[in-house]
Amino acid sequence: MGTHRLGWGRALAALAVLKLLAACSDKQAVQPTPAAAGLEPLPTPVGTPEREEWYRVLIQSQPAGWVHRVEHSLPSPQGPLRLTRWQERLWLRRQGEVARLDQTLTTLEGPDGTLLRLRQEKAGLSGPEVLEAGRVGSQMVTVRGPEIRRVPFETGAVGPLRPLEVVRPAGAADGTRSVPFRSYSTLLGGYTDNQAFFSAAPGGGWAVVHECADLPGVRHQARLAVDGRLEELRSPIASLVVEVHRVPTRPDEGAGADLDQAMRLPVDRPIPNPERLTSARYRLQGLSDPAAREGLSGPGQHLLPAEGDATIEVRRLAPAAPRTFPPQAPPELARYLRSTALENADDPEIRERARSLTAGVPDAGEALRRLRRWVREEIGSSMGVVSAGASDVLRERTGDCTEKATLLCALARASGIPARTVGGLLYHQGAFTRHMWVEAWIGEWRAVDPSVPDEIPSAARIRHSEMDSGLGEGGRLPPSQTLPCRAVLVLDLQWAP
């Protein structure tokens, strides 16, 4: 089972642990470049940094890595600009394997703290995954892989990593003050509304509670020093607790945070023969927030009307009726055919593999089964990979449920089948474990999972969100991908004879 796509740009910078359609031709889509989109290169820092700081990262109170922050002040006619480079390195242990996560974020801010330019770089299987964004005239332009998004530029909107330092109230820390502000989101490729509540911290400085649109329902707690610098941050994200603490020197690397227990939700009673389970009703203990319920309905699953904790009914779908391949999808499903930085369906190797697996197949359901079967049989299992793109997974032939779902989604889109990755829970070895699979449209939405033996998934799983990996459209952020649930209560179970 894999981790969710929660990098430090969403957990740490929870101050703030993914537009082009894939055409079925032999031509690869032209990849936009930052220069072609009008983005100027980031300036090169000169001289001694104005600020250099180290932060220790803890996950579940275990040392998980560090963040290094370096700031330079650059002169400009409008006043000094701030160039900041954040480098993060994390080690995550899952099922005995260690995954290393390297990410770097560089931002350029105006004299008033407005974000002017940004570059985010994540280490991938075969090279860095890069997102670039910045002001071009009256627009904020974001480029990532085959995607490009333009929104009106907003003066006063801050970057994703140090908004609290920028928007904190002037003067001494006293009383409690609510500060609304706008910030740029690398998930959306646009701006979001945020709220922070500042109060005086014991010993001086500010205690802050921060609500971030990138992680709905999560309340981040931070402490700022008297001079406004971040001292510590605590982010409870579903069953994970991520902490960041400022330290005087580079922290020891340690063995990494063990995520196995954190990825599991307890269940009140065991589920015998889960692979034969045809229907079930579950209550998600502690899940009463309506915003966190948005993704609880999907193929074979629906949310039941009930007060308090969310109650859902899950059933195993019947075999799909024959459908024409490729399916004739309505226009509103076009976004599930596009190529993104992760589900890069326009990659020539992805297209060729999809074409070879579905050649001569008249039925959409059979085409989907062939794609799923190939991913299950040909992609090895490894917990040492963190959120790789589909083309990398195809070449390296390894990954966990996240990478397998990403590849299957890209193959389906390259075949003309609308598809999306979804996050949820899978019953495994006496508990519900966080998991990812695919939903594909073949005249109706169907759940398909390349990480399990069954062609049609059983009812021993719970869907909770669509894992939208592309830049947001029309101001739409993806639904909450965290499921803040404490335990699963089993209300009713039925098995196939």
Residue 42 lies in a domain: yes
Q: Is residue 7 part of a domain?
A: no
Cα(368)–Cα(419) distance, integer angstroms: 10
Do 249 and 333 share a structural domain? Answer: no
d(CA 9, CA 389): 18
346, 464: one domain: yes
Which pLDDT tens digit goes with each residue over 47-93?
A: 899 999 999 999 989 999 999 999 999 999 999 999 999 999 998 88
SS3 16: coil
DSSP letter for 471, please. P
Query: In this structure, what DSSP letter does residue 358 have?
Result: H
Same domain, 114 and 195: yes
Structural domain boundaries, residue 126: 12-258
Question: What is the per-residue pLDDT across 338-350, written as a single tens digit (0 to 9) for each?
Answer: 988 888 899 999 9
Q: Average the pLDDT over 379-388 and give the result.
A: 73
Q: What is the DSSP letter of 363?
A: B
One domain for residues 169 and 282? no
Q: How many domains does the chain have?
A: 2
258, 286, 314 - which closes a domain: 258
pLDDT for residue 439 is more than 60: yes
Domain boundary among 207, 232, 258: 258
432 falls within a domain = yes
- Residues 236-257: tens digit of each pLDDT: 876 788 999 999 999 987 778 8
Mean pLDDT of all residues in 488-497: 92
pLDDT of residue 412: 97
Residue pLDDT, tens place only, 401-432: 989 999 999 999 999 999 999 989 999 989 99
- Output the domain CATH number for residue 272: 3.10.620.30
Report the mean per-residue pLDDT for the chain: 85
Token pair, residue 213, equals 């649109």
Residue 302 clears pLDDT 80, i.e. is over it = yes
pTM of structure: 0.79
CA 340/CA 187 separation, integer angstroms: 12
Contact 410, 399 (CB under 8 A): no
Domain match, 251 and 315 both: no
pLDDT band at 482; cut points 50, 70, 90: low
Taking CA 467 as the corner, what is the angle to CA 465 and CA 471, rounded to the nearest 5 degrees? 130
Q: What percent of the chain has pLDDT over 70?
A: 86
The model's confidence at residue 481, banded by pLDDT at 50, 70 and 90, is very low
The last residue of a domain, from among 258, 289, 311: 258
Residue 381 lies in a domain: yes
Residue 312 located in a structural domain: yes
218 and 279 fall within a common domain: no
Region 109-117: what's the mean pLDDT? 96
Please give the Cα distance from 218 to 242 (Å, whole number).
Answer: 12
The reported pLDDT for the residue numbered 152 is: 96
Q: Which helix (H) or strand (E) holds 71?
A: strand 62-74
Domain assignment of residue 364, yes or no? yes
Average of per-residue pLDDT across 24-44: 66
The tokens for 289 are 């927030």
If asked whether residues 283 and 198 sit together in one domain, one would say no
Are 73 and 167 within one domain?
yes
Tell me whether the omega of the peptide bond preceding residue 478 falls within 30 degrees of 0, making it cis. Answer: no
Same domain? 46 vs 162: yes
**Cα(129)–Cα(360) distance, integer angstroms:** 35
Within 8 A by CB and 6+ apart from 354, the residues are 345, 371, 411, 412, 414, 415
What mean pLDDT is predicted for residues 461-489?
67
Claim to verify: residue 270 and residue 238 sit in the same structural domain? no
133/30 same-domain check: yes
Same domain? 311 vs 221: no
Question: Does some domain include residue 6?
Answer: no
- Helices then strands (H, E): number in the chain? 5, 28
Tokens 């404490």 map to which residue?
A: 486
Does 371 fall in a domain?
yes
Rounded Cα distance, 272 and 385, in Å: 31
The per-residue pLDDT for 107 is 96
